[in-house]
Amino acid sequence: MNPFPKKSATAWPTMLPPTLQQHAEQRSFDAGATLFRQGEVPRSIFYVLAGEIRLLRRERDGMEVILQRSVSGFFAEASLETEHYHCDAVAARASLVLSIPIQAFREALDEDRSFCRRWMSLLAREVRTLRAKCERLCLHGAEERILHYIESEGMAGMVRLGQTRKAWATELGLTHETLYRTLRRLQQQGIIRIEANCIRLIR
Amino acid sequence: MNPFPKKSATAWPTMLPPTLQQHAEQRSFDAGATLFRQGEVPRSIFYVLAGEIRLLRRERDGMEVILQRSVSGFFAEASLETEHYHCDAVAARASLVLSIPIQAFREALDEDRSFCRRWMSLLAREVRTLRAKCERLCLHGAEERILHYIESEGMAGMVRLGQTRKAWATELGLTHETLYRTLRRLQQQGIIRIEANCIRLIR
DNA sequence: CGTACTTTTGAATCGCATCAAATCTGGTGG
DNA sequence: CCACCAGATTTGATGCGATTCAAAAGTACG
């Protein structure tokens, strides 16, 4: 059932200082499992080793918005500062996660200057990514958003999609139908080239 | 011409440690003045004392997107980590700004633990704000975005707009026409109440 | 008092969401 | 190994809502 053996060979995150590694507990989640729910009090910081965790918020009408997708690394970084979670965390696939007690984490930030620097750098990177995403979502037109995504998330005019197109559509603030159609049109016009889950910008 | 006297009575930010206050230089900008441009190398961290600074990026078609609006406090926080600015900074009105050499700032973060904590807390808050904004922009429909804004940016179902409605429309990813129309409709339906630059959610 | 910008409203258009349905895919269990 | 199922992918038709273009009235500021 669980695809991850207890003693996993997965690379331990180099970012984590030794002190914290002692406190870190490895946990596995089946697809669909909930790590935490909106409103709960944060007790741990999580680090994805394998699989995929999604932060999502459910709207009035039942629609759910994906706030963050994590395939590797920390997620819900802001929960370090908050009294309550602002969203749910759900395993999109079977996943392996490090769980670090929040108290130990705070102490490590206080004591380990190098770790603290890396943490700030991580937060700053998150801010930049989110700003780029906001900029993209402010664009009207499916085409513009897709091209903006390739340019800002990809390297050298090429992105590797680590998700289904349906999920990508949600991230772009579009319906999946519109995404499919626009992709097809862009390819027909010779603006992009699609191979498996790589999309390349021509020119 | 310049509305701010050299020796301003503006409250010095309590957040800034004494060491940094020595390095901080007070500068004033006329409306429309540019603080920095996309691509330039960050040499200072800025702190708004008065006025309004906008971070904006210009798109291919000449349209500009407002990435951040700062009326008070730090802005372009992520520039601490980057080689180049990713956007322009422009004074929307005559503004008074503290300019802190980036090197001194980094040293203060390293040496002053309390300041470092507050800086991380500030970054985390920024992450949460930006996530909320992304969530909002993913909503289809002008009405939903407006209500989401009031609920998440306001307090007790009420927001005070510190900007023109036109600018607000841009922040919501809408045209100003749509914003005006939707506001009128919402008010007619008795869902919101508009007074000057306060908008209140009924019930 | 004039200029620039915001606010407001109108009409026409276009693009995206929506509903519907068929096909394809990967994973499950018999 | 195959049948089956849930979900992703793909395409079509339709309607609504946001954009767009246009223009007038209001407002702030020098």
Q: pLDDT tens digit string along B25-47? A: 999 998 889 999 999 999 999 99
E strands within A71-175?
73-75, 88-91, 95-101, 158-160
E strands within chain B?
25-29, 34-36, 44-50, 53-58, 64-70, 73-75, 88-91, 95-101, 158-160, 192-195, 198-201
pLDDT class for B21, splitting at 50, 70, 90?
confident
Say how far apart CA B27 and CA A62 lie, in whole Å. 49
Say how far apart CA B82 and CA B102 lie, in whole Å. 11
pLDDT on residue A17? 85
Nucleotides of strand C under 7 angstroms from a protein beta carbon:
5-11, 15-20
Footprint of strand C on the protein (CB under 7 A): A 140-143, 173-175, 177-178, 182; B 140, 164-167, 176-177, 180-181, 183-184
**What is the average pLDDT score of chain B?**
88
Contact at CB, B116 and A116, closer than 8 angstroms: yes
Q: Taken in order A167, A168, A171, A177, is the CA torsion positive or negative? A: negative
Structure tokens at B27: 């500068």
Instruction: Confirm if B201 and B191 have CB atoms less than 8 A apart.
Output: yes
Q: Which A positions 66-85 lie with beta carbon below 8 A of chain B?
A: 67-68, 77-78, 80-82
| A196-CA/C26-C1' distance, Å | 15
- Best of B63, B130, B148, B168 to disrupt the A interface (most A CBs within 10 Å) is B130
Say how far apart CA A180 and CA A55 lie, in whole Å. 24
Mean pLDDT for the stretch of residues A129-154? 95
Of the partner residues B78, B124, B138, the one whose CB lies closest to the CB of residue A81: B124
Residues A171-191 pLDDT 10s: 999 999 999 999 999 999 999
Contact at CB, B138 and A113, closer than 8 angstroms: no
**Region of poorest pLDDT, from A85-89, A163-167, B13-17, B126-130:** B13-17
Say how far apart CA B10 and CA A193 lie, in whole Å. 56
Instruction: Confirm if A200 and A193 have CB atoms less than 8 A apart.
Output: yes
Q: Which B positions 151-170 lie with beta carbon below 8 A of chain A?
A: 170
Q: What are the two backbone dihedrals, phi and then psi, of residue B199, each rounded to the nearest 5 degrees? A: -125, 130
Residues in chain B: 203
In chain A, % helix, strand, coil (3-state, to 5) comes to 40, 25, 35
Residues B107-151 pLDDT 10s: 999 999 999 999 999 999 999 999 999 999 999 999 999 999 999
Q: What are the two backbone dihedrals, phi and then psi, of residue A120, each rounded to the nearest 5 degrees? A: -65, -40
